[in-house]
Amino acid sequence: MSLIRRNDLVPSWSNLFDDFLNNNWNDWTNRHYSNTNTTLPSVNIKETEENFEVEVAAPGMEKEDFKVEVNNGYLTISSEKKSETKTEDPKGKYTKQEFCYESFSRSFTLPNSADTEKIGAKYEKGILIISIPKKEEAKPKPVRQISIE
């Protein structure tokens, strides 16, 4: 059984999901790692009648660690976190210092139906949730009965 992507079924999905669906799922060499060999967070993308929602799994982060930007039709989600611990012997015999640097950046093409002026984000329980509302003209319209004269 094969999974076949068909953009013509739901045109508003075509741009936002192209990056996500065009990945070679059997190629794990570079897709999940950044240049610093840190794991890229997993992303879920879903569409409702009212909006698109992007969920980024990033436990252990704080909302201040994220930067979410919209520029020229692209949504970019990035994070940078630095931590440092230092242990010293009170007698001055040893010093132990460890540091950690984590970063990632992911970009997605936004569909033309996205209302980029109303994008919102929140971070709860290790998940960054970005809500991308649809423009009014892109939302499905209810069935309207036409009278016949």
Structural domains of the chain, with CATH: 11-136 (2.60.40.790)
Which one is predicted more confidently, 31 or 124?
124
The CA distance from 45 to 31, in Å, is 17
For range 128-135, the mean pLDDT: 94
| Predicted TM-score of the model (pTM) | 0.63
Tens-digit pLDDT profile for residues 73-91: 999 999 988 888 888 878 7
Instruction: Tell which residue, 40, 28, 49, has the closest CA to residue 79.
Output: 40
pLDDT in tens, 92-104: 777 877 888 888 8
Three-state SS for 36? coil
Which tokens go with 34? 């950044």
Per the model's pLDDT, the better-predicted residue between 138 and 106 turns out to be: 106
